[in-house]
């Protein structure tokens, strides 16, 4: 085993250990009933946001493309999950919630992946700002499309209608235009969320450390040099983009099937920016950072409820302070000295990333 490989291995093991540790701790708290309702209610959304942040990090941090339409894939996943779950219940009277959840999540990942592929073909030929603008537009297009989409189910069949609610009278409505996906039976569980986070981590960490992953990072660092080495830039960017879309779709299904209703306005451009904030705050190309910042920033507004109406103001201030502190060389060095044994493991890794980790 080479030195670099060993470093990756230890880094990955630290991440897995932390995630598994957090899961075991929380499960114990749930069993002992020492957890507050407030925190318990946030566990599944936190899992979903972690997956969103890690998958967006793959696109932005590792393949270096600024995608602003990530919430679009999440909404595709949330809607697909709701429709598939409702349809399975109607068609096969499938009462097994675990199986239904698994099928819904897989279907959501598949559909989001196909859409990611279709979007990626024209979009990934663009660079920089243009790509950002087009992905932004894509997110808005998805939102406006689901706004006029009506889906119902009856007798094991799915009925689709577009622009007007033109469905047979006896159908159970699953998606009701601007009213969003309605009457979802919440079936997501924290354990399912945890498993999905683990799958995401395994996929992303393995991809990043693989030959393909190194090629993806090469296209990010220097497009021309990578091309001259015979790396197909579009193909590798596509791999990162579609993988990100699949994972975001799965996160969407987990998120949607946790609530009893989902509306298009939950997945606006603002939501994409929100995930971008998770990624930037955690550090571009830093998977552990994404996990921590997604968790922290999801819980933070709830911890700040004491400030009532001023809490988003305080949230913004905290965000700025974190940005300043994590970038302050003095504070960084204090942190680094505290974690110097861990740091020694990562030193090589940090210089590889060209100081991009915030």
User: 166 or 221: whose CB is closer to another protein?
Assistant: 166
Directed axis angle between helix 233-256 and helix 70-92, to 10°?
50
Q: Is 265 in the site for another protein (CB under 8 A)?
A: yes
State in angstroms the smallest separation of the CB of 289 from another protein.
23
Q: What distances in angstroms separate CA 256 from CA 29, 47, 241, 328, one per listed residue? A: 25, 12, 22, 39
User: 42 or 352: whose CB is closer to another protein?
Assistant: 42
Euclidean distance between CA atoms 149 and 145, whole angstroms? 6
How far, in whole angstroms, is CA 247 from its chain's centroid?
6
State in angstroms the smallest separation of the CB of 42 from another protein.
6
User: 260 or 327: whose CB is closer to another protein?
Assistant: 260
User: 37 or 211: whose CB is closer to another protein?
Assistant: 37
Residue 221 neighbours by CB under 8 Å, 6+ apart? 64, 354
Euclidean distance between CA atoms 256 and 84, whole angstroms? 12
State in angstroms the smallest separation of the CB of 262 from another protein.
7
Instruction: Name the one residue in this structure whose structure tokens are 């469905």.
Output: 167
Q: What is the CA radius of gyration of the chain?
A: 21
Euclidean distance between CA atoms 305 and 18, whole angstroms? 27
Q: Is 312 in the site for another protein (CB under 8 A)?
A: yes
Q: Which of 68, 216, 263, 279 binds another protein (CB under 8 A)?
A: 263
State in angstroms the smallest separation of the CB of 84 from another protein.
20
Q: Is 270 in the site for another protein (CB under 8 A)?
A: no
Euclidean distance between CA atoms 191 and 43, whole angstroms? 10
Residue 158, φ and ψ in degrees, nearest 5: -105, 135
Q: What distances in angstroms separate CA 96 from CA 53, 85, 88, 100, 147, one per listed residue? A: 30, 11, 10, 6, 30
Q: Is 161 in the site for another protein (CB under 8 A)?
A: no
Q: Which of 179, 214, 235, 344 binds another protein (CB under 8 A)?
A: 179
Q: Is 305 in the site for another protein (CB under 8 A)?
A: yes
How far, in whole angstroms, is CA 27 from its chain's centroid?
23
Contact segment (CB under 8 A) with another protein among 11-19, 151-159, 258-266, 283-291 equals 258-266
Site string for another protein, 67-106 (x = CB under 8 A): ----------------------------------------
User: 250 or 284: whose CB is closer to another protein?
Assistant: 250
Q: Is 40 in the site for another protein (CB under 8 A)?
A: yes
Q: How many residues bind another protein (CB under 8 A)?
A: 33
Q: Is 309 in the site for another protein (CB under 8 A)?
A: yes
Interface of this chain with another protein, residues 336 to 355, rule: CB under 8 A? none
Run of H or E residues at 175? strand 172-176
The size of the chain, in residues, is 358
Q: Is 33 in the site for another protein (CB under 8 A)?
A: no
Contact segment (CB under 8 A) with another protein among 214-222, 224-232, 260-268, 320-328 equals 260-268
Return the structure tokens found at 284.
């571009």
Directed axis angle between helix 269-282 and helix 70-92, to 10°?
110
Give the footprint of another protein on this chain (CB under 8 A). 36-38, 40-42, 45, 144, 147-148, 165, 177-180, 182-183, 186, 259-266, 301-302, 305, 308-309, 311-312
């Amino acid at each position: 085993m080479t030195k670099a490989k060993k470093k990756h291995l230890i880094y990955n093991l630290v991440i897995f250990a932390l995630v598994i540790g957090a899961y075991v701790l929380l499960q114990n708290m749930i069993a002992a009933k020492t957890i507050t309702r407030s925190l318990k209610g946030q566990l599944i959304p936190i899992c979903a946001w972690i997956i969103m942040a890690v998958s967006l990090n793959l696109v932005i941090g590792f393949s270096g493309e600024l995608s602003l339409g990530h919430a679009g894939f999440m909404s595709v996943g949330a809607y697909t999950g709701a429709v598939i779950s409702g349809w399975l219940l109607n068609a096969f009277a499938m009462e097994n919630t675990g199986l239904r959840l698994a099928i819904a999540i897989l279907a959501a990942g598949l559909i989001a992946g196909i859409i990611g592929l279709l979007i990626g073909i024209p979009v990934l030929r663009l660079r920089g700002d243009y790509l950002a603008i087009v992905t932004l537009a894509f997110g808005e297009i998805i939102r406006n499309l689901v706004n006029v989409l009506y889906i119902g189910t009856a007798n094991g069949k799915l009925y689709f209608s577009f622009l007007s609610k033109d469905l047979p009278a006896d159908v159970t409505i699953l998606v009701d235009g601007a009213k969003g996906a309605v009457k979802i039976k919440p079936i997501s569980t924290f354990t399912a969320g945890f498993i999905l986070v683990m799958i995401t981590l395994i996929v992303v960490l393995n991809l990043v450390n693989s030959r393909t992953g190194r090629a993806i990072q090469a296209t990010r660092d220097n497009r021309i040099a990578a091309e001259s080495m015979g790396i197909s830039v579009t193909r590798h960017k596509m791999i990162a983009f579609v993988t990100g879309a699949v994972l975001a779709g799965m996160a969407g299904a987990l998120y949607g099937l946790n609530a009893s209703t989902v509306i298009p306005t939950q997945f606006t451009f603002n939501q994409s920016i929100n995930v971008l904030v998770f990624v930037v705050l955690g550090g571009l190309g830093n998977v552990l950072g994404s996990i921590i910042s997604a968790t922290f920033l999801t819980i933070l507004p709830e911890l700040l409820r004491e400030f009532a109406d001023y809490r988003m103001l305080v949230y913004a201030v905290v965000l700025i302070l974190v940005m300043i502190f994590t970038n302050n060389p003095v504070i960084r060095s204090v942190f680094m000295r505290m974690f110097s044994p861990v740091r020694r493991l990562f030193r090589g890794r940090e210089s590889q990333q060209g100081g991009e980790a915030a």
